[in-house]
């Protein structure tokens, strides 16, 4: 089931094309993931590590402009031993799919990819 995160485009997220820079859209997907984890009670960043991305992919279909509303629909597509695969869709104010992609994060402790603890798995499953 998709988890939803919404806000508006800020000015520094745009570029001289008059539209949103392509990297801003990827920041939104990460921002949604961080809110998802926080809501589940899972630490996003710890002194020992966190959830860095090892892969991202995104298709851009429709542009966003300053002030536009967007919604990230985030799905935890797959739970691996050390990694999570997220899929996301970014909807515009008319509920059109403006962007769509995936990202894979790994659970890192002490700088090393590490097995996701059972307690964290349980929280993700809830």
Residues that bind a second copy (CB under 8 A): 10-12, 14-19, 21-23, 26-27, 30-31, 34, 38, 44-45, 50, 52-61, 63, 65-67
Measured CA distances, 122 to 43, 90, 107, 118 (Å): 14, 27, 15, 6
Q: Which residues, including other chains, have CB under 8 Å from residue 37's CB and lie 6 or more apart? A: 43, 44, 51
Shortest distance, CB of residue 121 to a second copy, whole angstroms?
A: 22
Q: Compare residues 3 and 66 and give the one whose CB is closer to a second copy.
A: 66
Give the strands of the sheet with 108-109, arranged side by side. 45-46, 49-50, 108-109, 112-113
Q: Compare residues 102 and 125 and give the one whose CB is closer to a second copy.
A: 102
Shortest distance, CB of residue 55 to a second copy, whole angstroms?
A: 5
Q: Compare residues 47 and 95 and give the one whose CB is closer to a second copy.
A: 47
Shortest distance, CB of residue 14 to a second copy, whole angstroms?
A: 4
> CA-CA distance, 123 to 100, in Å (whole number)?
26
């Amino acid at each position: 089931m998709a988890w939803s995160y919404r806000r508006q485009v800020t000015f520094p997220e745009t570029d001289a094309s008059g539209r949103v820079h392509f990297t801003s859209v990827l920041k939104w997907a990460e921002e949604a993931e961080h809110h998802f984890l926080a809501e589940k009670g899972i630490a996003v960043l710890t002194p020992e590590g966190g959830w860095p991305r090892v892969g991202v992919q995104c298709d851009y279909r429709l542009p966003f402009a300053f002030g536009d509303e967007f919604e990230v629909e985030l799905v935890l597509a797959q739970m691996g031993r050390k990694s999570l695969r997220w899929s996301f869709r970014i909807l515009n104010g008319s509920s059109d799919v403006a962007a769509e992609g995936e990202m894979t994060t790994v659970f890192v402790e002490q700088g090393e990819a590490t097995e996701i603890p059972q307690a964290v798995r349980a929280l993700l499953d809830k």
